[in-house]
Amino acid sequence: MNSRRVVITGLGALSALGNDVKTNWQNAKEGKSGAGVITYFNTEKFKTRFASELEGFDPTLKLDRNDIKRSDLYTQYALYTAAEAIEDSGLDVSQLESPFDAGVIWGTSQGGMGTFEKEMKEFVGNDLNPRFNPFFIPKYLVNMASGVISMKYGFMGINYTAVTACASSNSAIMDAFNYIKWGKAKVLIIGGWDVTIP
């Protein structure tokens, strides 16, 4: 089997160091820390009160209203970083020979846990009318990010989610490298997200 050269053509990033690749890289070079006091929930009863949170994340910069409404933060972050990576790469999706040449491999260890927590609280706390949101399962699924990215860009090739705990993103990168090297795909959007602390 002939192996093909594999190159990274675009990057996307969201982290406590910044909400795009350029800001992340600049802050990393300057040795800045993304850790700080937790602001997303009350830490009064916890021993640990610091974490690395995203600051100033605005999903509307790259996502439309339906993307946001129907997605857990896990999927929103994935869509956002995928959009930046595609823009950075200069990929013209309309110029692909076949939609089956492009796909998505995304890594996570737990998917939409924020949605799971919210739905459980609302169900248990609503004695008069306990119910689940109709988007509960689609927002919670671990493979929702890879599926939604593919649907957004019309990719019909390889699509799945790598779930290997803290190594999930590395597994996605390794698998994507091999699929392109073996000629099974021409373009793969890869990455990973977990949202334990928003």
pLDDT in tens, 26-49: 999 999 999 999 998 899 999 999
- In this predicted model, which residue has the larger pLDDT, 43 or 137? 43
Residue 139 and residue 144: Cα distance in Å, rounded? Answer: 7
List the domains of the chain with CATH numbers: 21-192 (3.40.47.10)
Residue 110: DSSP 8-state:
S
pLDDT score of 2 more than 80: no
Q: CB-hemisphere CA count at 13 Å for 91?
A: 23
| Number of other CB atoms surrounding residue 61 within 10 Å | 11
C-beta separation of 99 from 91 below 8 A: no
Q: Enter the tokens of residue 111.
A: 């998917």
Dihedral sign from CA coordinates of 24, 82, 166, 139: positive
Q: CB-hemisphere CA count at 13 Å for 21?
A: 13
| Number of other CB atoms surrounding residue 89 within 10 Å | 16
Query: pLDDT at position 90, please?
Result: 95
Whole-structure pTM value = 0.89
pLDDT score of 190 more than 90: yes
Query: pLDDT at position 1, please?
Result: 59
